[in-house]
Amino acid sequence: MGREQKPTFAELLEGLAILEQQGDLSTVIDTIVYDSRKARQGALFVCIEGFVSDGHAYA
């Protein structure tokens, strides 16, 4: 069975009304995280307002 191709940042954003975007659109995304401590190369960090802190402060 073939390996599934992972999307680029640009492909994930297609068709969305984006307010702000940071990063290289050609980056291949292999995971999505909401904890900034888990952000790394290939991870898409999504800012979420939490109970303890607001992820937007770490963007």
Query: What confidence tens digit (pLDDT) does each residue in 2-56 have?
Result: 568 999 999 999 999 988 888 899 999 999 998 888 999 999 988 877 777 766 6
Q: pTM of the predicted model, to two decimals?
A: 0.66
Q: Are 50 and 39 in contact (CB under 8 A)?
A: no
Helix locations, the chain, DSSP H: 9-13
| Residue 58, helix vs strand vs coil | helix
> What's the pLDDT score for residue 2?
59
- Take residue 46 and report the two structure tokens written for it: 């999504």
Q: 52 and 35 in contact (C-beta within 8 Å)? A: no
- The CATH homologous superfamily to which domain 9-58 belongs is MurE/MurF, N-terminal domain (3.40.1390.10)
Domain ranges of the chain: 9-58
Q: What pLDDT shows up at residue 1?
A: 55
